[in-house]
Chains A and B, each alone.
Chain A
Amino acid sequence: NAGVMQNPRHLVRRRGQEARLRCSPMKGHSHVYWYRQLPEEGLKFMVYLQKENIIDESGMPKERFSAEFPKEGPSILRIQQVVRGDSAAYFCASSRPGTGGHEQYFGPGTRLTVT
């Protein structure tokens, strides 16, 4: 009965490189949310995906960031040409269809450090 899995747990990238963060939702969950937590701040919504569809990406920066949730495999959050300001903890949450909002289960997060 695995929970939400995220990998890698820690990722170090130099400025200009690409970062790929992976999230495997809980079994039976087809909704995935990505949140970002900057140091000393709360979590901020980035994007909401269902299988093969981006439902809401209103929290995603307009450039360099993209997300997908393919039919098979994990959800991927991709950051191109990373900058120091991208350093943060990125959390993925998953839920089943039709739940009321409290059924979002979070993964352990990926801590991205841009040097």
Chain B
Amino acid sequence: DQQVKQNSPSLSVQEGRISILNCDYTNSMFDYFLWYKKYPAEGPTFLISISSIKDKNEDGRFTVFLNKSAKHLSLHIVPSQPGDSAVYFCAAPRRDAGNMLTFGGGTRLMVKP
């Protein structure tokens, strides 16, 4: 049972344009969501998070939107830069399981110069 899903395995965007990465979840108990960025041969790096009491969180070029009724969140990157090319994972901690993270399958973002 995949509780966090990222339905787009890849996304290609022109430099300077907006990148929108999507994530859906099924577990209504999730109350916190995180986005991680991962370069090849490196571990995931925390990018931005959002609590379920909010519907938006912004940090520089990165904004995460949460739609609880649709069980959907999205990460917006604007403007996109070539250095943003990486795999992005959304994740949610299981409060009933020591906060272990449940990850989506990832979306590979390619930003073309």
**A and B physically associate:** yes
Residues of A within 8 A of B (CB): 4, 6, 31, 33, 35, 41-45, 48, 55-56, 58-59, 91, 93, 95, 99-102, 104-109, 111
Q: Is the CB of A43 within 8 A of B103?
A: yes
Which of B36, B43, B89 has a CB less than 8 Å from the CB of A4?
A: B43
Please choose the segment from B13-21, B69-77, B78-86, B92-100 that sits at the chain A interface, where 4 or more of its residues have CB less than 8 A away.
B92-100
With A100-B32, A102-B49 as known contacts, state yes or no: A108 contacts B41, CB within 8 Å. yes
A60–chain B nearest beta-carbon distance, Å: 12
How many of chain B's residues have a CB under 8 angstroms from any CB in A?
A: 27
Starting from the known contacts A91-B43, A101-B34, 18 additional A-B residue pairs (CB-CB under 8 Å) come to A6-B43, A35-B103, A41-B106, A42-B4, A42-B103, A43-B44, A43-B89, A43-B91, A44-B103, A45-B97, A45-B101, A48-B97, A48-B98, A55-B98, A99-B99, A100-B93, A101-B101, A105-B46
Residues of A within 8 A of B104 (CB): 42
Is B45 an interface residue when CB atoms closer than 8 A count as contact? yes
User: Residue of B at shortest CB range from A43?
Assistant: B103
User: Residue of A at shortest CB range from B95?
Assistant: A101
Q: Is the CB of B100 within 8 A of A33?
A: yes
7 CB < 8 A contacts A-B: A35-B101, A35-B103, A42-B105, A43-B91, A48-B98, A48-B100, A101-B92
